[in-house]
Amino acid sequence: MARLLESKKAFNAEVNQYEHNSPTLGCVMKFSVINGGSGSDEKLPVIYWLSGLTCSDRNFIEKAGAFRAAVENRVIIVCPDTSPRGVDIEGDSESWDFGKGAGFYLNATQPKWAANYKMYDYVTNELMEIIEQTVKTNGKKAIMGHSMGGHGALTIALRNPGVYTSVSAFAPICNPMQCPWGNKAFTGYLGDDQEQWKAYDATEQMKGMKAAPFDDILIDVGDKDNFLTAGQLLPENFKAACDQVGQKCSLRMQPGYDHSYFFIATFIEDHIKFHKQRLAN
Ligand SMILES: N[C@@H](CCC(=O)N[C@@H](CS)C(=O)NCC(=O)O)C(=O)O
C-alpha cells in the first residue's frame, strides 16, 4: 500500500504525493498524482507522465501547470520518479545523465545495476498495480513524457500493445542508440551488445512494427532546444521510421521554444486533450 505524504488542492484538483516500498527497485519510492476528479466518485482514466534527466516525481507537478487541464478533461496524471532513489550504488551520483535521476526506463542487465535499476518493470507493472489500489481509476491508460521520459513513454507504449490507448512526448530522445546520452546509458546499464539496446530504442521499435499501433502519435519539439541541435533527440529518425510503417506521427516543431518546463507548460493542455479524446472511446 502507498502511504500519503502530502495532499494539496490546486484548481480543484487533488495533488498528492505518496511513498511505497518497491520490491522491483529494492527501495522506498515516491510518486505524485494529480487527480482531476477530486471530490467526486467518478472513476477516471490515468495518464502516466515520465520525466527527464535530473527530475524527481515533483518537477512536472511544480512546473508544468497541468492542474486546470487535468480537471477540465477529468483525468488523473501519475508522475513516478526517474530512477531508484533509496539505494546507493557506487558511481550513481557522479554525473547527471547516468545513475540517480537517469534510470532511462529500462531493466539494467549489468551486474552492478541489475538488482535495482529496473524502471521498465517498475512503470509497466508495479506502479500500475499500486495506482489501481490507491486511486479510483476506470482502468484506461495513456502515457506521455519529456526527453528521457519521452523515450520511456514511446518505448513502453510500443512494447505493450493494447495497454495504453495513446502516447505523446515532449522533446523525446527518439533514437538513443544514435545519440551520446543513449550510448552512455545503454553501455552502462545494458553492456556493449547493441542488439540488446534495440528493445529500448523507439526508432528501432517502430521500424520493427508490422502495422501502425496508434491512430496518431503527438510529439512537440522546440526548435531552440539545445539538446535537439546537439543531436540528442533525433525526432526526424523516429518520424522516418513511422513513415516506413504507415504510422501517423504529428511531429510539431515549435518555433522559439527550448527544452524546459516553460515549453512543456505551453503545450501540456494540447497533450492532455489528445489523450482524453482517445481515452474517452
Ligand atoms: N542538468 C542539465 C540539464 C538537464 C535537463 O535539462 N533536464 C531536463 C530533462 S532532460 C529537465 O526537465 N530538468 C528539470 C527541470 O527543468 O525542472 C544541464 O546542466 O544541461
Q: Give me the CATH number covering residue 37.
A: 3.40.50.1820
Going across the sheet that includes 167-170, the strands are 3-10, 13-22, 27-35, 76-80, 44-50, 137-146, 167-170, 217-222, 249-254
Q: What percent of the chain has pLDDT over 90?
A: 97
* Catalytic status, residue 271: no
Share of the chain above pLDDT 70, in %: 100
The rounded Å distance from CA 168 to ligand 1 centre is: 19
> Which residue out of 57, 92, 97, 225 is catalytically annotated?
225
Parent domain of 77: 3-279
pLDDT of 41:
84
**pLDDT score at 39:** 74
Q: What pLDDT does 103 receive?
A: 98
Mutate to test the pocket of ligand 1, among 50, 51, 55 (most ligand atoms within 8 A of CB): 55
Is the C-beta atom of 55 inside 6 A of ligand 1? Answer: yes
Could you say which of 146, 151, 259, 275 is catalytic? 259
What is the 189 CA–ligand 1 centroid distance (Å)?
21
21: which strand partners?
A: 28
Across the chain, what does the average pLDDT equal?
A: 97
What does the pLDDT average to over 110-131?
98
Per-residue pLDDT at 211 exceeds 80: yes
Q: What is the pLDDT of residues 180-197, one digit of tens each?
A: 999 999 999 999 999 999
